[in-house]
Amino acid sequence: MKPIQVQTKDNWHLVVFFDNKKSKEIDCGFLLDYPAFEKLKDPTFFNQAFIHHDTVCWPENIDLNPDWLDG
């Protein structure tokens, strides 16, 4: 199952849509405590999420571990 689309929601949540027609909501709020994800605190930046190399990414080489997307 590969992610094909991501939608951002309020309170640092994402909805990831997969090629098998399923979706999963992910709460990314806990990431804000880590320096590598500090830029995600800006909602405008967070809303720039996109799918690349089978995971959720943001500009400036910020991405999620693909294993977190498994559902």
Q: The domain 3-69 is classified under which CATH number: 3.40.50.1100, 3.30.2020.10, 3.40.50.1970, 3.40.190.10?
A: 3.30.2020.10
Please, is 18 exposed, middle or buried when counting C-beta atoms within 10 Å of its C-beta (0-12, 13-18, 19+)?
middle
Distance CA 36, CA 32 (A): 9
Global confidence as pTM? 0.92
Each residue's pLDDT tens digit, 31-55: 999 999 999 999 999 999 999 999 9
Every domain of the chain and the residues it spans: 3-69
Which pLDDT score is estimated for 71?
55
